[in-house]
Amino acid sequence: MKTKEQTNTWKHVEKVRGAMTLWLCLLIGSAEVKSAEIIFLGPPGSGKGTQSNLLSQKLKIPQISTGDLLRERAQAGDLEIAKVLEKGGTISEGKLETILTERLSSPDAKQGWILDGCPRTLAHVRILNRVLTALGRSENVDAVISLEVPDSVVHRRLAKRQICSRCGKIYNQDSLAPKTKGVCDLCHNPLYHRSDDLNHDVVINRLNHFKNETSLVLDFYQRSGRLCRVSGVGPKPEVFGKILKCQGIKISKPKEQK
């Protein structure tokens, strides 16, 4: 067992090394960043979509939202997924595994990816690890970023959230506004406020559900030293700066050879 002091010292060394690596990467250009595999978690209204999108542009690796993948599938005629999206519930583990395998093995994900909103349960973690192993990648993702905001901020932000009535894409009047007000960029159908987003009690339930679901996932990645908790409160660039600092800890670290 390492003593707490040793662990702290080690963490400090890792941080310094991470900061130096990131600085080098930025100096050379993000094309030099190899194999950045990042998981982004956060409750609804945390700004997770916006921030993971910024990171995706910075590192030139795709932002992969499982929500978007499911919506694409449903639109392409997958009845099981369409039903889950419409009525709630969870998709089968087999289906999630297929979807992740296909997406993570596509050419644009060769240099890495940002998984936005997955894995949310330990079962999902196991699926992701199976997929990574099958693809010959390490299970050790580079960073797991938990974007954290107080419940009061979530309530305020959700009140400004709008959703496409057809494809389900999520917008925010402040941070992720559609190109045309009230109209979806993707399918040009009208946007609406989810009544759930405006109902205080329902939001509290959803937040509690999210916390219960993901706390075990966060514990899991904390133990592996990959977790980075970032406050999602504040101006977008400031939050992004904090994310860059923490995800730099692991980026460009050579992947373990199988």
| CA contacts within 13 A on the Cβ side of 49 | 16
Catalytic residue among 60, 194, 229, 236: 194
Tell me: does residue 187 bind Zn ion (CB under 5 A). yes
Choose which of 186, 202, 218, 233 interacts with Zn ion (CB under 5 A).
186
3-state secondary structure of 143: strand
Q: Where are the alpha helices (DSSP H) in the chain?
A: 4-28, 48-59, 66-75, 79-87, 93-104, 122-134, 151-158, 195-198, 200-223, 236-247
If we measure between CA atoms, which residue out of 209, 191, 186, 190 comes closest to residue 71? 186
Q: How far apart are CA 42 and CA 115, in angstroms?
A: 12
- In angstroms, what is the minimal distance from the CB of 157 to Zn ion? 20
- In angstroms, what is the minimal distance from the CB of 97 to Zn ion? 27
Q: Fill in the per-residue mask, 156 to 185: x = in contact with Zn ion (CB under 5 A), - = not in contact.
A: --------x-xx-x--------------x-
- Catalytic site includes residue 194: yes
Q: How many residues bind Zn ion (CB under 5 A)?
A: 7
Q: How far apart are CA 95 and CA 39, in angstroms?
A: 20
Catalytic residue among 15, 60, 120, 160: 120
- In angstroms, what is the minimal distance from the CB of 184 to Zn ion? 3
Of residues 64 and 74, the one with the C-beta less far from Zn ion: 74
Contact (Cβ atoms closer than 8 angstroms) between residue 216 and residue 122: yes
- In angstroms, what is the minimal distance from the CB of 169 to Zn ion? 5
- Catalytic site includes residue 206: yes
Catalytic residue among 137, 157, 161, 250: 161
Tell me: does residue 191 bind Zn ion (CB under 5 A). no
Give the strand order in the sheet containing 227-231: 63-65, 112-116, 36-41, 143-148, 227-231
- Catalytic site includes residue 17: no
Contact residues: Zn ion, CB under 5 A: 164, 166-167, 169, 184, 186-187
